[in-house]
Structure 1
Amino acid sequence: MTRRVLILGGTSGIAVATARLYAAEGAVIGLVGRDAARLAEVAADLTARGATAVPVFTLDLASEAEPAARLAEMRDAMGGLDDVLLAYGLMVPQAEDERDPATARRTLDVNFTSAALWALAAAALIEAQGRGSLIVIGSVAGDRGRRKNFVYGAAKAGIAALMEGIAHRFGRPGAPPGIRAVLVKPGPTRTAMTAGMDRTGGGWAEPEEVARIIRRAADTNRRWGGPIVYAPGRWRLIMLIIRHLPARIFNRLDI
């Protein structure tokens, strides 16, 4: 049976790497984003890699007022829907968020408010049809507020709480067994979003590594496990340590 996956934010580095895994399986892959030219490039690449079809939906996800209606339209255009991957986001330097309220609002609106509304709409659609996976890309930045990115981190912390709640709802007794909600928390990853950072050192991951974890998460029944997956997995232990550092030690760290 042909898999049908809708990717919200289909031009991000991690999204493209994940889409290529689906393409190799012959999936129908719906791409959603603002940049029509870039979407067309990604669609052509995925078709060449084996995707059965790659419908493109040009849309500003952060400005959409009717996520539920739009999702239904895209599902119908794709002939059904199995997986929804929410992969879009915005990260600006912390100093800009602190200096300019409009910039901070945009960071929060894109990474939390908008993402939350799309996630809620996707969860409702998946639950109504009784099958499917909702996978949202979060960030380890949401695990503890750090002076280098706490506005962005606050939005990601909010999404983590939301996804835990959706997963809790999906896991209740009597819920359809074929539905799942997973938050994938990447550590630092070499994508366009992090292009201005110092990306040397062993803590960085490639988009393809994160993509493999996302693809597995879509198929893993986490009803009896946690709704959060770290990518790569070593970040679960790293962030466990960081979350439990006493403030007197944590405050000395330049992280």
Structure 2
Amino acid sequence: MSRVLSTLVVEDMPLASHKLVTLLHAHPDLRVDATAASVVQADALLRSRRFDLLLLDIGLPDGSGLGLAGRWPALAAHTIFVTAHAQHALHAYALGAADYLLKPVDPDRLAMALARARRLIDPPPSGFSAGIRLAVRQGQRTDFLDAHRIDYIDMAGHYACVHVGGQVHLLRESIGQLAEQMAPAGLVRVHRSVVVNPARVQSLHERRNGDAMLQLSDGARVPLSRTYRAALEQVLGAR
């Protein structure tokens, strides 16, 4: 069993801090050990004890969360920024942040960010992701799909449609569950109802308000929400 991550939440708005802590309580593999409402408070806590994970707002009353993260470079990969401002994503990723979430925080998107941070904090053994497979029932038979063969997953009603080389396999699972299950294999959530294999992304077509359409190598087009855009761009930029 993986160790419990000691977590610090830095958020100056009491209601937002409470909501975020409540969302984190749904994840038994971490423990919120402290909260802070300013850069000075957070800096003092970071000096006084060791935290495994930092959830950090950017607009704080006495300075920027980006500046705080810059003073603690060893914690960069253990930091998830939580902010209302999309324009700082590139700066955050340049610091080495694990992820960048926009308010209001979507629980499934938070779960994806926590899974990514966990992999950075406690990396799996070499070769771990290569063995990830998805079990799909076909009548009386169960097929096991190698994760790297999946093109994308989207939703049709209560069913998840797993697209693999022109074939579609149906699963009665939520997209949030599948996103978390497939994240160690590199698949990325790009929309509230879509997960893609970044290796299949061929081009990005801009839409309004930061949203976009992704053209995949098999000709399929899937939506990219601005909420998930920074995470996908980080993956694509690392390829």
- In the superposition, the TM-score normalised over structure 1's length comes to 0.39
Indicate the structure whose relative CO is greater, using CA pairs within 8 Å and at least 6 residues apart.
1
Larger strand proportion, structure 1 or 2?
A: 2
- In the superposition, the TM-score normalised over structure 2's length comes to 0.41
